[in-house]
Amino acid sequence: MDLKQLKAFIAVAKLQSFSAATQATGLSQPTLSRLLKQLERDLEVVLIDRYHRPLQLTTAGLFFYDKISALLIELDAVTHMTQRLSAPSKGLNIGFVPSVLYGLLPEVIATFKQQNADIEVTLKDISSYQQIEALKSGEIDVGFGRFAHQDPWIQQILLRHERYLVALPKAHALAEVKEQRLLDLANSHLILYHQTHLPGLINTDSTADDTSMSTRDKSAKQSAKSATNSVTDSVTEPLLYLFAQHGITPLRTSKVSDLQVALGLVAAGEGITLVPASLQVMRTKQISYQRLIHENVTSPIYLHTLKDFTHPKVSDLLTAIYEIYEQRGITYRRQQFV
């Protein structure tokens, strides 16, 4: 069993066609067939059911495809990292999600450039989850994202939590209410805009001291909490998850392609949405941004890079970030990548 055989199998399994796989791999069909037969002979199992169109994998083939695909992805990542170690990038490629661009990122980059005039900085608009593969491939060296990741190749630092604000049309009945509650917003049309969902959910609901409660009250409270947690655990859309944490389900929702479209619809009076506080500078003539009373309704900002290969200038980028935080009086916990 060798790498050529594995790549041939992955191409056929993914495309479900020998002819399509020949175009994707650049191999002739006889060569492709020979490699697959050799692989099956080495494994002593049939991987592909050749009597169906499109081609189908056997049970053993499905298992093998799932496991080998993951291994080949890791192999590609190792290959790219090895090449970068021998020829490190002369510039710093930074990935970011659009929402951080409206916050402190421009100031951070300006400060970093002042202190590192000898290095070229490239900024790339790329989603949190796409940044993980971009780090592995070498497309970016470091990324600013909004989601935590559990990837053995990646290390993350939580920079800070940014409060959510509610964005309402100026004509909305709650537009002038300075302290908003999620419960009061449940009857409004909620516009969702996240293209990626939460990968794993951890309930961080704090519980009050129950020592003075009766056994009956404790039982009722625990039952209510369990019911809320059960609902919360099934919700992965980020904004709906914030509501679910408080036992609330909005009555009407719709989904759009991105945050800019969501704010455009809010400005047009089509509904409301929740946005990180840094976005409150957008469309202020049509939109009223109001604070939520819930302190735990926040959007985290993470900085992530590779575990085994950290660009030498990432530490300087962190220094610039913390310098801006201190200037702005933002609470943070100083950290460093290992």
Quote the pLDDT of residue 109: 96
Alpha carbon 183 to its chain centroid, in Å, reads: 27
d(CA 190, CA 265): 11
Q: Looking at the chain, which residues constitute the CATH 3.40.190.290 domain(s)?
A: 92-203+222-338
CA atoms within 13 A on the CB side of 161: 6
d(CA 252, CA 238): 16
Bin 186: left if φ > 0, else alpha if -120 < ψ < 50, else beta: alpha
What's this model's pTM, rounded to 2 decimal places? 0.69
Domain at 92-203+222-338, CATH class:
alpha beta
Quote the tokens at residue 205. 């609901």
Per-residue pLDDT of the chain (338 residues; tens, 9 = 90+): 788 888 888 888 888 888 888 888 888 989 988 999 999 999 999 998 888 778 889 999 889 988 888 888 778 777 777 776 666 667 899 999 988 988 899 999 999 999 999 899 999 999 888 999 899 888 999 999 998 888 888 999 999 999 999 999 999 999 999 999 999 999 999 999 988 777 654 443 433 344 434 454 444 444 444 444 445 557 889 999 999 999 999 999 999 998 999 999 999 999 999 999 999 999 999 999 999 999 889 999 999 999 888 898 999 999 999 999 999 999 888 998 88
Task: Report the CATH number of the 3-86 domain.
Answer: 1.10.10.10
CA nearest 124: which of 147, 113, 140, 137? Answer: 140
For residue 126, give Cα distances in angstroms to 94, 105, 140, 237. Answer: 9, 14, 10, 19
CA nearest 15: which of 36, 40, 41, 37? Answer: 36
Quote the pLDDT of residue 200: 53
Quote the pLDDT of residue 16: 86
Question: Do residues 287 and 225 touch, judged by C-beta distance below 8 A?
Answer: no
d(CA 113, CA 108): 9
Q: Looking at the chain, which residues constitute the CATH 1.10.10.10 domain(s)?
A: 3-86
Name 303's bridge partners.
144, 157
Quote the pLDDT of residue 86: 65
d(CA 130, CA 125): 10
